Structure 1
Amino acid sequence: MISRYNHLTVLLLIFDAVFSSAAVCSPGWTNWKQSCYAMHSKRLNWMDATKFCENTGSHIVVPNSQAENDFIWGLVMDRLEYASLPMGGVWIGCKRETADSSFVCAEKTDFTNWTPGHPSAKVLCIVYGKGGNGTWRSNRCTNDSRRYVVCEMPNTAYCLTAGKNGRFVSGLP
């Protein structure tokens, strides 16, 4: 009877190995769900933050759920001492061109997490605000408004195939 269970376990392990994929982020990036995240160590204005992320093949982070929002806020708090976080906090990848227009985000989302009283009708960008425990505030996008930035990109999945001997025949490039 034990022998049958051992064979079943081996078959399940082989099945898992044959149909596995590995999600990978570059060094310095943190994997969560299907994305990779990296926080830049210097404060940048909106335009420079956008360019910085684009140059790494990513975009300024846009939370799509409370769970992702909490993860990103935790990442920020892990990287910074709370006292060093500016009042304007960390850029979120949504902006509007005029006070009368809607926010346009780097990726589609219906999720919001506004601090009470926000967004301000006059302000064009969104940030994680200090003291908001992961809530959002509207903020100026001017060149002198410098904030930290977290970049986001899809993680890369590689399919791993097992050969007849049970060893992987293809792997990471």
Structure 2
Amino acid sequence: MSSGAIYRKCEEPEDIGNKASMASRKAGGFLLQHCRCGSNETSISILFIVNAVSFVLWTIIVAVLFSKYSDMTRELEQLQTNQTSLGENGSNMQKEVKQLHSSQSAYGSRLDNGLQKMENDQNGLKSNMSERLADTQRERDKIWAETFRLQDALYKMNSSACRVCPAGWVLNRGQCYYFQEQEKQWSFAKQSCKDQGGYLVIINDNDEQTFLNSKKKSITYWIGLSDRQTENKFFWVDGSSPTYTHWNPREPNNADRGEDCVEMVTTGWWNDRECGGTTNGWICEKSWKC
């Protein structure tokens, strides 16, 4: 269709009444009529422009949204990375806490063991010191008793012609000892000591044993110990059980089933042997009395 035809269509008269009503329409109605009078090409151009602008706006909006989405994705990935790192740090810290707790427990256990050992050592030391103190007290009492005994003896000696021990006897801690050198049986030695007012020696402790070793000769001596009544149950001649012994290694052994009497050999050790045999001598003992 030519442009002239379009123009004429737009200018075709209307009814006079219609014209009057058109004149009284609002500006909005005039604009609508004006638009209706526009060409199709103009409408298409405006529509194209609107679509283009809409497309551009949508493109910008999509780009902005995509950019925001990308930023949010990166931030989310960063947050996930941070969360993973925090989780690993938390796991490492938990391991360190467990290791620290384990080390603390081990240290506490060692400390408790050390304190317990110190307490045990202290208790042992106290017990040992108590025993030593008691031994010292007993030795002191013995020394004082011996001192008073000697003082009394000296007083009696000064006031009379009394001698400390008979001739040939040796004094030690208030006891007199006689070392007889004669080869006789155990029963003979026992009776000989009795005839002299004493008895075959009874050895009560290591001090007495040491004294006898220092005074005897390198020969064998009978002592007052035997198990003649009951095998392997030894008694001194006064009927008391021994509180101290000085047996030779692997003795007593009752060799040949007849060793019931005890001798002191050259080294000072004790040995059981037959009572009917003989030794080089015997040792008598008696308390000193003035």
Per the TM superposition, whether the score is higher than 0.5 is: yes
Normalized per residue, the structure richer in helix is: 2
1:124 to 2:260 alignment: yes
Letter aligned with residue 224 of structure 2: G
Shift in Å, 1:101: 4.6
Offset from partner CA, 1:17-69 (integer Å, 9 cap, x none): xx931172111110000200011131211111011000001001111111101
- For residues 98 and 106 of structure 1, the distance between their equivalents in structure 2, rounded to whole angstroms, comes to 12
Residue 4 of structure 1 corresponds to none
- 2:210 corresponds to which residue? 70
Cα distance per residue 1:71-100 (max 9 Å; x no partner)? 1122112xxxx3xx2xxx111101112563
Give me the whole-angstrom Cα distance separating, in 2, the residues matched to 1:106 and 1:35: 16
Bigger fraction of residues in strand: 1
CA distance in 2: counterparts of 1:100 and 1:31, whole angstroms = 34
Q: Give the aligned residue type for 2:223.
A: I
Q: Distance in 2 between matches of 1:137 and 1:60?
A: 16
The match for 2:236 is 105
- Cα distance between partner residues in 2 of 1:34 and 1:57: 15
Aligned positions of 1:32-47 closer than 5 A: 32-47=172-187
Maintained 8 Å contact 1:99/1:124: no
Distance 1:43 1:145, change over 3 A: closer
Query: How many residues are treated as equivalent by the alignment?
Result: 129
> For the pair shown, which has the larger CA radius of gyration, 1 or 2?
2
Q: Which residue of 2 aligns with 1:149?
A: 282
Contact 1:90/1:148 (CA < 8 Å) preserved in 2? yes
Unmatched runs of 5 consecutive residues or more in structure 1: 1-15, 159-173
**Which whole-Å CA distance do the structure 2 matches of 1:147 and 1:32 have between them?**
23
Q: What's the CA shift string for 1:105-159, capped at 9, x where partnerless? A: 02433000111100113320111123xx3111111101x4234111000112x5x
1:45 and 1:147 in contact (8 A); partners too: no
Distance in 2, matches of 1:100 and 1:151, equals 25
Residues 181, 280 of structure 2: 8 Å contact kept:
no
Letter in structure 1 aligned against 2:275: C
* TM-score of the superposed pair, with normalisation by structure 2: 0.41
Equivalent residue for 1:26? 166
Q: Is the 8 A contact 2:231 2:260 kept in 1?
A: no
Q: Which of these residues, 249, 269, 273, is aligned with residue 139 of structure 1?
A: 273
Any gaps of 5 or more consecutive residues in structure 2? 1-146, 155-163
Choose from 40, 53, 72 the match for 2:193: 53
2:227 aligned to which of 83, 93, 96: 96
In the superposition, the TM-score normalised over structure 1's length comes to: 0.67
Q: Which structure is richer in relative contact order (CA contacts within 8 A, separation 6 or more)?
A: 1
Give secondary structure in 2 for the equivalent of 1:134. Answer: coil
What percentage of aligned pairs have identical amino acids? 23
